[in-house]
Chains A and B, each alone.
Chain A
Amino acid sequence: MKLTINGEPKEIANPTLTVTELLKQEGVSMPDMVTVQLNDEFLRPHQYPDVTVSDGDTINFLYFMGGGQ
């Protein structure tokens, strides 16, 4: 399936994939380090194992950045 991940088009071999699996495949070592936007909606970490992505979806992983000082 074709996805847009963090602004880049990407071809994924799997026919179906949960957000948890996708994060792992994309090298996000800990799912709690990011907030995930699937199309327009933000998911919460407890949803990652159950929500699946499908062809044409747009996914953004936004990292938590807590620094400032």
Chain B
Amino acid sequence: MRDFTDSELERYSRHIILEDVGIEGQEKICDAKVLVIGAGGLGSPVALYLAAAGVGTIGIADGDVVDLSNLQRQVIHTTADVGTPKVESAKNKMLAINPALTVNTHHKMLFADNILGVIQPYDFVIDGTDNFATKFLVNDACVLAGKPFSHGGILRFAGQTMSVKPRQSACYACVFGQPPPPGLVPTCSSAGILGAVAGMLGAIQAAEALKFITGSGAPLYDQLLSFDAKTMNFRKVPLKRNPNCRVCGADGVKALRDYEQVVCEVKNAKNS
């Protein structure tokens, strides 16, 4: 049993007062370890909310530095951070909100040969990546390592998310199979994204992580939540695990491999 100080009781009072969280739930949050992959449009709101919630250990993985074109949506970074590694900028803001946290920075791109070591210490993983190669790799690694995670994807005015409990609920590959053919589906700066849509989806992913940690509510297992901010229609599509899934099925993933990286079709665009 953790002895919360008076200031911790005050800081977390609006959680503690929640019937579904309480002191015990807040203890679980403070003891939890969550990895956020990508310190961008999705990772920014996720990291801010997890830090504010008091998640005791937060890992943040990203190989980029802050670019001026990021600031329209990546709300954890400021104008003064341009040129700074995103993981450092994000760490500073998280600790400014909540100095008691441990923030681990992983300033690198994740590939088949390093991702398992990065995710290993964490209880839950957030996919806030910006390309299909990494999204499928995160799925494969989490299934292989048995780490529950939240998938998130955004495009223009739309977003989608599902939570995955490896080998128990449908995984990203059960639903989407393989990355789409290179160049067909816009993923990056060429398509555009309404900044607030990234915030909407990131907040949902943060809520999923906190639900998982506290055991409250029903995570988005076997469901894909998708929304279109133009109409504000939200829809949950029921999913079923594919017993023959090439990743989480009986003959599923045994070792990781890198997927082909899709190069953004707009030549002069920045890569995030």
Contacts and interface: CB of A to CB of B under 8 A. Distances in A.
Contact of B272 (A32, A41, A65, A69): A69
B152 A66 contact: no
Given A60-B237, A65-B155, A67-B41, 4 more contacts: A63-B226, A65-B158, A66-B188, A68-B153
Contacts, number: 95
Interface stretch (B9-17, B103-111, B130-138): B130-138
Give chain B's interface secondary structure class: loop
A37 B70 CA distance: 35
Given A62-B160, A64-B185, A42 B224 contact: no
B184 A62 contact: no
Contacts of A35: 175-177
Nearest to B73: A69
Interface string A50-66: 00000000001011111
A45 B262 CA distance: 19
A6 B174 contact: no
B271 to A, nearest CB: 9
Interface extent on B, as a size class? 35 or more
Interface of A: 6-7, 30, 32-33, 35, 37, 40-42, 44-45, 60, 62-69
18 contacts: A32-B181, A33-B180, A35-B175, A41-B240, A42-B177, A62-B175, A64-B180, A64-B185, A65-B155, A66-B153, A66-B186, A67-B187, A67-B191, A68-B152, A68-B153, A68-B198, A69-B40, A69-B129
Nearest to A37: B237
Interface of B: 38, 40-43, 64, 70, 74, 127-132, 135, 152-155, 158-160, 174-178, 180-181, 184-188, 191, 193, 198, 224, 226, 235, 237, 239-240, 242, 262, 272
Contacts of B70: 69
